Amino acid sequence: TQLLEQSPQFLSIQEGENLTVYCNSSSVFSSLQWYRQEPGEGPVLLVTVVTGGEVKKLKRLTFQFGDARKDSSLHITAAQPGDTGLYLCAGVRRDTGNQFYFGTGTSLTVIP
Amino acid sequence: EAQVTQNPRYLITVTGKKLTVTCSQNMNHEYMSWYRQDPGLGLRQIYYSMNVEVTDKGDVPEGYKVSRKEKRNFPLILESPSPNQTSLYFCASSLGQGMTDTQYFGPGTRLTVL
């Protein structure tokens, strides 16, 4: 069982639709990050959330850190084909500060 | 250009034949780590290093070794590869292991063990 579970695992939507990806854990995290990975490349950081309840916006992407610091969500408004990719949450657990954990990943396809 | 490089990008080998995957970063980062990526499992940390001569096990260290003799290099060694180590491997580095540090990833090494 992975420490960070993401849902859904796969998502295929039409251009212009909205979507939400969830990242859940039973553990408390000091911070959570969201990365996006394109085929043949390594993950690239999108955002870091640090404070429980924090909301950050990056253009059409909205990221939220749960109040209890155990979960996070990524909401995309009016998805575009360029949003296609693998989305990964990741974080540093509060009680094991040096080890980095990644989520199981959500593969998003936006159809033109 | 700031980057993390890995070599080789692709490798096909046979069970038991020792191999090394190199990783180098030019950003003077202290923290480096190795991950493997398998479908449905995301990335799992194999080993990480907080600084020169300081390494520690991640989630899935069995069958792997690492060393950190220089700050810029962090090779991954498979002494006796087995088919279950067939995977996509990523090296990453960050300035530190603070909770807001960005990890920069290499392009990946696709390893197949026959």
> Measured between alpha carbons, how far is B52 from B71 in angstroms, rounded to an integer?
5
Whether residue B74 is predicted with pLDDT greater than 90 in this model: the reply is: yes
| Phi, psi (degrees; rounded to nearest 5) at B65 | -135, 155
A88-97 pLDDT, tens digit each: 999 888 777 6
Whether residue B52 is predicted with pLDDT greater than 80 in this model: the reply is: yes
Verify whether the Cβ–Cβ distance A88 to B43 is below 8 Å.
yes
Q: Which residues 24-63 on chain B approach chain A with CB closer than 8 angstroms?
A: 33, 35, 40-45, 48, 50, 56, 58-59
pLDDT of residue A32: 92
Residue A100's closest chain B neighbor by CA?
Answer: B45
Which helix (H) or strand (E) is B55 found in, with range? Answer: strand B54-57
User: Hey, what are B93's tokens?
Assistant: 């580095």
A9-56 pLDDT, tens digit each: 999 999 999 999 999 999 999 889 999 999 889 999 999 999 999 999
Chain B: give the shortest CA distance to residue A17, in Å.
25
Whether residue A58 is predicted with pLDDT greater than 70 in this model: the reply is: yes
Chain A: give the shortest CA distance to residue B34, in Å.
10
**Higher model confidence: residue A98 or residue A106?**
A106
B85-108 pLDDT, tens digit each: 999 999 999 987 766 788 999 999
Taking contacts as CB-CB distances below 8 angstroms, the residues of chain B near A30 are 99
User: Hey, what are A31's tokens?
Assistant: 């911070």
